[in-house]
Structure 1
Amino acid sequence: MASAGSPKSAAAKKRRPRDSLSRAVIIAAAEKIAERDGLEGLTFGALGKELNAHSTSIYRHFRDKDDLVLELIDGLRAKSYGGDLVSTGDWREDLRLIARLIHEHYLRYAGLAMQMAARTTRRPTEFHNVEFALDALRRAGLDDDEAVVTTRVFGNFVRAASALEASLQVLPEQTRMMDELAWTVEYRRLPAEEYPNIARLADKLLPLGDPRLFTHAVEMLLDAIAARAEAKQSDQSDD
């Protein structure tokens, strides 16, 4: 039997009481690990070490790692903008709002952005996002079929573009600098006879991370949504 002063005995004394764990406590520790080590490093073993608890005790609160990850992703959304997604009454402004909030969220958690973008959490913040977008698109004048397709198109674009921009932020500084420099140096050196359009516009080319790109793309989508709604209404009036 281990003596009172042995390392094993000391570790046992420090072990967190079983009933002191909760979903909120576990999620807080999971966020800390994920931001430090990525979702790959978020294991129940790592959580147990972070919480000073036996890893098996986490199964009392989460079915498996994926259950935990989905809860974490939805929780981070709520933490970023959960109370800010309130309708303005203008469908364009509402879609601008949700696009901006999601974009800022992905940049805030840049190291997790690519993995978050691909997941469907089926949890409250996601449900609210979808309801908010559908309501805006119905007010834009889209019918049900157009609204559900456009909700997916708009959401996929916002997440993909935001995740791409976030992924640039987490590149090694030297790599990111060289990529950005290419647009202002290497493109300008291309021969005009082979690349006439690039040569003519080289001084105007924008790097991938230019913040104007996201805003411009959102406005293009809003214009396309309005045009489709008008075309649909025109078709109906002609019938």
Structure 2
Amino acid sequence: MPETVAKRVRLDRELIVEAALELARSEPHADVTFRRLGEALGVDATAMYRHFRSKNELTRAALDRLRAMTTDYARSVPGTWREQLETHMMRFVEVSLEYPSIGAQAAVIDPVGPGDTGTVEFLLEKLTEAGLEGGALIRAYAALSGFALSHGAALAHEVMVTPGAARDGSIPWISTFGTVRLSDYPFVDAHRDALLAIDGVTVYRAGIAAILDSVERGTVADVRSGPAA
């Protein structure tokens, strides 16, 4: 009887990151763990530690890959500075929702890699094209980056914890007002239906539009000294 030879997998960082992203994409409601990666790659889970000291280090590398994917896409789409920033921001949230267990970590884990640095470069470049410089440039970058990271991570987390949720940001922003008597809250009562119609990606688009409107007007506020005149 011929001897069966098991196929050996030659692990490296790139292969592990690719496998982590595939798990995040194909199993949106589960965390990516070394055990699950080992099963997917056909190796012992402890083999991951030869390439990544911890799960956080692997997540950092995966997030950096997602940053690079987002920025490369935005650079490939022609347009004005605003159009390219809008493209970048929408692609960012799409990628976060496509790989929710990785995207959900974006607000708490800093990739610190070439993909992340390239994203910072892209945002500063486009905001400079918009005419910003100095403190106004840095404030606009902080507003865009902070909003995208926090909101994108929140939307990705919603996908993870909501069985059957679509990965398009369509989860309602306000699902219900419960048993609250809305007649006691006249503004909420007057706009109840419109408020309940809002979903997560609508809120995201509105936030990005408000920041870019502020950039166009040259009124990016300095929170240390109050709103710009």
Aligned equivalents of 1:151 and 1:66: distance in 2?
25
Residues 174-189 of structure 1 mapped to structure 2, 5 A cutoff: 181-182=175-176, 186=178
Match of 1:215 in 2: 205
Q: Please report how far the alpha carbon of residue 136 of structure 1 lies from its aligned counterpart in structure 2 after TM superposition.
A: 1.2
Q: Please report how far the alpha carbon of residue 127 of structure 1 lies from its aligned counterpart in structure 2 after TM superposition.
A: 1.4
Q: After TM superposition, what 4+ stretches of structure 1 lie above 6 angstroms from structure 2?
A: 176-179
Change (3 A) 1:146 1:203: same
Residues 19-34 of structure 1 mapped to structure 2, 5 A cutoff: 20-34=10-24
Aligned equivalents of 2:133 and 2:173: distance in 1?
43
Match of 1:227 in 2: 217
Q: Do residues 14 (structure 1) and 3 (structure 2) align?
A: no
Which structure is richer in relative contact order (CA contacts within 8 A, separation 6 or more)?
2
Match of 1:234 in 2: none
Q: Do residues 105 (structure 1) and 99 (structure 2) align?
A: no
Change (3 A) 1:124 1:205: same
Which amino acid in structure 2 is aligned with residue 107 of structure 1? L
Aligned equivalents of 1:177 and 1:24: distance in 2?
33
Instruction: Pick the aligned partner of 2:126 from 114, 136, 139.
Output: 136
State whether residues 96 and 152 of structure 2, in contact with CA within 8 Å, keep that contact through their aligned partners in structure 1: yes
Which blocks of at least 5 consecutive residues in structure 2 are unaligned? 222-229
State whether residues 38 and 112 of structure 1, in contact with CA within 8 Å, keep that contact through their aligned partners in structure 2: no
Q: Please report how far the alpha carbon of residue 15 of structure 1 lies from its aligned counterpart in structure 2 after TM superposition.
A: 7.0
Which amino acid in structure 2 is aligned with residue 16 of structure 1? R
State whether residues 39 and 112 of structure 1, in contact with CA within 8 Å, keep that contact through their aligned partners in structure 2: no
When structure 1 is superposed on structure 2, of 81-90 and 150-159 the one drifting more is: 81-90
Instruction: Pick the aligned partner of 2:74 from 68, 77, 85.
Output: 85
Match of 1:7 in 2: none
Change (3 A) 1:33 1:138: same
TM-score (norm 1): 0.71
Q: Do residues 199 (structure 1) and 189 (structure 2) align?
A: yes
Instruction: Pick the aligned partner of 2:111 from 118, 121, 124.
Output: 121
Q: How many residues align?
A: 214
- For the residue of structure 2 that corresponds to 1:62, the secondary structure is coil
Larger Rg: 1
Which amino acid in structure 2 is aligned with residue 203 of structure 1? D
CA RMSD of aligned residues (A): 3.6
When structure 1 is superposed on structure 2, of 81-90 and 212-221 the one drifting more is: 81-90
Aligned equivalents of 2:108 and 2:119: distance in 1?
15
State whether residues 172 and 199 of structure 2, in contact with CA within 8 Å, keep that contact through their aligned partners in structure 1: no
Aligned equivalents of 1:225 and 1:178: distance in 2?
29
Q: Do residues 42 (structure 1) and 36 (structure 2) align?
A: no
Aligned equivalents of 1:46 and 1:143: distance in 2?
47
Among all aligned residue pairs of Structure 1 and Structure 2, give the percentage whose two residues are the same amino acid.
Answer: 25
Change (3 A) 1:117 1:38: farther
Aligned equivalents of 1:230 and 1:49: distance in 2?
49
Instruction: Pick the aligned partner of 1:67 from 42, 46, 57.
Output: 57
Aligned equivalents of 2:101 and 2:129: distance in 1?
35
Change (3 A) 1:112 1:195: same
The one-character-per-residue Cα deviations of 1:125-172 (angstroms, maximum 9, x if unpaired) are 211111111011112222222212321221110122223333333324
Change (3 A) 1:88 1:230: farther
- For the residue of structure 1 that corresponds to 2:106, the secondary structure is helix
